[in-house]
Amino acid sequence: MLAVMGTDDLNTVRQLEQLRIQATRENDADVLAPLLHEQLIYVNSIGAVFDKNRYLKSIRSHSLTYDRDFDVRETEVRVLDDVIILAGMMLGHSRLDGEQQVFHFPCIGVWRKDPDQWRMLAWQSSSGSMAF
């Protein structure tokens, strides 16, 4: 069911997304933790799948780190009841198990209001080329 949500919900999610991006740049798992839904599914650009605990553990142990140039540029938005989907381009550099990753990838983030707090439920980035 499509619901008309106030711009406040979308603005809130956009602010939380900016906080998530900043915390990701700083590899700050303590700031990231409350932003992530307990049922998080995080799929990185090479197809590795993380749940919330594994993702945060990877950041805390520095097996997954992001550089300060990490950014996400929003290109599409969908608002449905208690879900907001942000699609865009992920830009920057990271290291996964010590290997440098350079990215300019399409990505999608799904945020869910549960019950009164917005949290990221899913993330996927793709190293494939863009169709648009």
User: In a 3-state reduction of DSSP, which class is residue 131?
Assistant: coil
Higher local confidence (pLDDT), 94 or 87: 87
Confidence band of 2 (pLDDT split at 50, 70, 90): very low
* Mean local confidence (pLDDT), 46-63: 92
For residues 110 and 121, what is the distance between their CA atoms, to the nearest angstrom? 5
For residues 16 and 19, what is the distance between their CA atoms, to the nearest angstrom? 5
| pLDDT above 90 (res 44) | no
Closest CA to 24 of 57, 63, 71: 71
For domain 7-125, give the fold. Nuclear Transport Factor 2; Chain: A, (3.10.450)
Q: What are phi and psi of 87, to 5 degrees?
A: -115, 150
Determine the pLDDT at residue 124: 96
Domain spans, the chain: 7-125
Predicted model pTM: 0.85
